[in-house]
Structures are given as C-alpha cells and as structure tokens.
Chains A and B, each alone.
Chain A
Amino acid sequence: MNAQNDYDFHGIRQNLEHLCLNGEICTGCEKNRCLVFFSKKVADYAMNKNVFTIPQGCSMIPKQDLKTYHEDELIESLSLVLQQCKDCRDNHDDDCSVNLIRTSLEYALFGDSLAYRGSTTIYFIDAHNANNRIGKLLKDKFMESKNK
C-alpha cells in the first residue's frame, strides 16, 4: 500500500528516458541546457532526497531548449506527469517537483508554459485554449492512462 502522499517519480523517470533524443538532433548531451535532462534530474533529486519541492527550481528550467521532440511521446509523458498532480489548488507551488517536470515538458510540447492553476481539470481547459489539437490529444491520453 502506498502512502497517500506518494508520487511515482520512478515511473516518470522511466518514461522520460523515451524522450531523450540520444544525439538525433543534438550533438552530445547538452545536460542542464536540455529540458529532458533537467526533468530527469528533478525526478532523481526528488527520489534521492525525498522532497516534493525544489526551492528556485522553476528558475533553472532550460527554457532556451528549442529542440523538436517526438510529439506523441511528449504527450504520453506529460499525461503521466499530470496523473501525479495532487490538485493542490490554492496551495499549488511552482517549485513543486511534479510541476517542474510538467513545465519542462510543456516547453518542449507547446514551446511555452501554461499557468498552472492547481487542478488537472482546469489545466485541460487551458491546454485546449492554447492548442485545440494537442489539448485534446493530451486529455484523451490522460483519460486512457487513468482508466487502465
């Protein structure tokens, strides 16, 4: 039985491996200038240190990473990350480990981040407004994974 506050960072970490372009576009690992590398580091740090929040983590997201990732894999990863969201609403923290990974994947997928309002339900509305097609794919994948 998992504790109520458990996050599946292990599952997220495994999934993030699929996103790595492995030199397909980049020449050699760009490390902290890569959104996927950053996301993996966040997951590793959260697991190793047993923390939910990384102070100032948001300011370290490599927003300048403009590489094109595989869309379907990004959508799958993002839907998996969204499933870890605890719907904190007013207590949402941008430096939450889950939020840091979500934001990084958003930059990779949308080219920008969406203001997260502490709820997956509201998020899908915002994602749909940002991009109809991707918003729908994301919600469908989220529901599909949730009902598995």
Chain B
Amino acid sequence: MGKAIFKQRNGVFGVGIVTPCGLITPEQLGGLSKLLPEVGALGSKLTTRQTLIVLIPEEALERFAAGVTALGLDIGSFGDIVRNVKGCAGNSSLCMRSLSEAHGLAVEIQKKFMNQPTPHDFKISVAGCHRGCTDPLCADFGLIATGPDTYDVYIGGRGGSRRPQHGQKMYSSISSDAVFVVLDHLLKVYRSLGEPAERICSTIKRVGIDPFVLPEGELPKEEPSNDFFDFLND
C-alpha cells in the first residue's frame, strides 16, 4: 500500500485527497482554496471515485500533506487494499429519490474497511436507490437501497476493464447491520482464497460464489418496518 501520490508527465505530482464519500464542508473548501495557491498547485481534478487530485510541485508535497491533514482531510492510499467508498448523496436531508441513509452508511463502511489489505484493489459503491448514480453494479461490492434500512448486495462487478462485467446479486434487502457482517466475511474469504493480484470477480469465477455467502443463520435478521404502512393505517 502506498500513498495516492502519482508523478505526472510534466513532473508535478498528483495527490489524491479522500473525503467522506465526496462530502467537503465549506470550511474545508475554503481552506483548500487558500492552501492550493500557497503550495503552488497547478490545478485540481475531481475524480470518478469522489476524490480530489491536486497537482503539486515535488518540493511542496510535505507542506501540502500537513495542510490537508489540518483541514480534517486525508491523503488517499493506493494499491491492493479496500479503496475509498463511493457513496451517493442519498439521505433524509438530500436526494429526494433516496430510500435510505445511504451516504451515512457509505461513510461508516469507509471508516471501518478502507485501507484493509486485499489480494487486489477492492472498490465499494453505495447507492440510495435503483438508479445507482454511483454505479454499484460496476464495483467489487455494491449496495443498492431498497427501503429505509434495507439493501441489495452485489459482488464481483468490474467497471474499468477490458472485460467489464456487472456484479451478481448476493443478498436481497438486508439491513445495514447485516451489510457490515457480510462485508467482513466477504473480505476474510477473499483474503483467504484470492490469489495475489486476482480481482474478486476472477476469484469467484475460479472457486464459485458459495464460499463468499454467509451460512443461513449467521446473517443478522431484523423485523422490517414500513413507515408508509403505519401512515396509511393511521
């Protein structure tokens, strides 16, 4: 695992800043607007995975990293690890289409799992509805909300590739608590069965999906609640 700092063709360095699934506060944005000119940044670029790449001269890297940390942001990591999580703007305050607190869940997953070692890079996407703005079917582990706290789980998607493929549905409408249990199990099995540099979709192809599925009874189950049902019968 290395830091997400990449030398560019023109000699400057692209530094990847990780956010809580794309959310940047006004204070952080204001801080960056001061920090970037101070360190002589040539520019910045938003990435498809909700990070911000800033172009920095080599001699300013250390100063920039310190400034980023002071703003409560992080320099990302790179390599065969669980990457930062892509999360949509789905929650009770933002996107009106969202069925759940998808963004909050994505942030919690990122906090718990990001940077864990894996045989190959492992990407997670969370979407608050079937529209899937974060492309959950193209991630190694994708979640799509189906209700206030229920998610369909897809595994083995591969977006950026010469052989792109969609993930396959592993669980239907499980709770956010169950998502953590499922992901923890999945990563343990992947670390155990995956060959070095083998993407999880290839591991699944080689050994089948069964080892990745939690045995019946080990999946936390909760009584589903339906707010509208109560409203209708009120």
| Chain A contacts to B: CB under 8 angstroms | 5, 31-32, 38, 41, 44-45, 49-57, 60, 91, 93
On whether the beta carbons of B96 and A55 are closer than 8 Å, the reply is no
User: Counting chain B CB atoms within 10 Å of each CB, which of A45, A55, A60 scores highest?
Assistant: A55
Q: Are B233 and A32 within 8 A (Cβ)? A: yes
Task: Give which listed residue, A5, A31, A45, A55, contacts B231 with CB less than 8 A.
Answer: A45
**Do A32 and B96 have beta carbons less than 8 Å apart?**
no
Q: Mark B199-234, 1 if CB is under 8 A from A, else 0.
A: 000000000000000000000000000111101110
Contact with A along B119-138 (1 / 0, CB 8 A): 00000000001110000000
A55 to B, closest residue via Cβ:
B147
Provide the bound-state CA to CA distance between A38 and B150, in Å. 24
A45 to chain B, nearest CB (A): 5
Q: Is the CB of B148 within 8 A of A55?
A: yes
Closest chain-A Cβ to B171's Cβ sits at a distance in Å of 16
Which residues of the other chain, A, contact B97 by a CB distance below 8 angstroms? 52-53
**Contact of A60 with B229 at beta-carbon distance under 8 Å, contacts A5-B96, A50-B96, A55-B147 already known:** yes
**Neighbour of A56 across the interface among B129, B130, B226, B231, CB < 8 A:** B226
* Residues B228 and A54 in contact, CB atoms below 8 Å apart: yes
Is there contact, CB below 8 Å, between B228 and A93? no
21 example contacts (A-B, Cβ-Cβ < 8 A) are as follows A5-B96, A31-B233, A32-B233, A41-B231, A41-B232, A45-B231, A45-B232, A50-B96, A52-B97, A53-B97, A53-B99, A53-B129, A55-B150, A55-B226, A56-B226, A56-B229, A60-B228, A60-B232, A91-B130, A93-B129, A93-B130
Pick the residue among B146, B147, B228 that contacts A45 (CB under 8 A): B228
Q: How far is the CA of A45 from the CA of B227 in the complex (A)?
A: 10
- Closest A residue to B173 by CB, please name it: A55
Task: Tell me whether A56 and B147 are in contact (CB under 8 A).
Answer: yes
A41 to B226, CA, bound (A): 14
B146-A55 in contact (CB<8A) = yes
Give the distance in Å from the alpha carbon of A55 to the alpha carbon of B227 in the complex: 9
